[in-house]
Amino acid sequence: MNIWTRHAISLLLLTLGLSVLTAFWLYQSMWSQYEKALTLLEPRIERHLGLIRTSAEISAAKEGLGTLMKGWVHPGGAQSPNDLQQQFRQHVTAAGLTLVASQVVTDNSPDGALARIRFSATVTGEWASALVLFSALQSQTPPLWVKSVVLNRETGTETAEPQTVRMTLQLEAPALPDTGGGK
């Protein structure tokens, strides 16, 4: 065998050996990356499978929570602010007061969280009637939260007739989010 042939064969074997070592190193590198990704994904997959397995229980608990919340949260939808304003108007007239002005706005919160219905009202009447209104608001469910009240006396202290008050109330009510499937 010629010396050039031996050099060519040994160079070929050396190149083949280096190629095998490089391929083995690349395989080990890829395998370690796969193992790392698998250790990250396995717990997540197990959690998802657990959620899928318990989806019926989750749905039942969600329905139970919905019935529990009905006593504490106003129904959502496009008519909800108007219904709430009408309900407040009924409380005012039942207490013997006069509703001078009212304004309603819905504050929708993102991601399906509870919305808030805010409104302000100006009411006039006797002091005793105002106490009846506050008592009615305190015992109402779902609640109507009184955020602020400004009281102004309208009659003087010298008169023998009952004193009247002018109140400006800022009210807030929790409401279910509007799902877009309104009436």
The domain 80-175 is placed in CATH, from the list 3.50.50.60, 3.65.10.10, 3.30.70.60, 2.40.10.10, at: 3.30.70.60
Digit-coded pLDDT (tens) for 29-65: 999 999 999 999 999 999 999 989 998 998 888 888 8
Digit-coded pLDDT (tens) for 9-29: 999 999 999 999 999 999 999
What pLDDT is recorded for position 182? 44
Q: Is 105 exposed, middle or buried (0-12, 13-18, 19+ CB in 10 A)?
A: exposed
Digit-coded pLDDT (tens) for 101-122: 999 888 877 666 778 889 899 9
Q: Is the pTM of this model over 0.85?
A: no
Whole-angstrom CA distances from 57 to 51, 60, 68, 70, 114 are 10, 5, 16, 20, 23
Domain boundaries, the chain: 3-53, 80-175
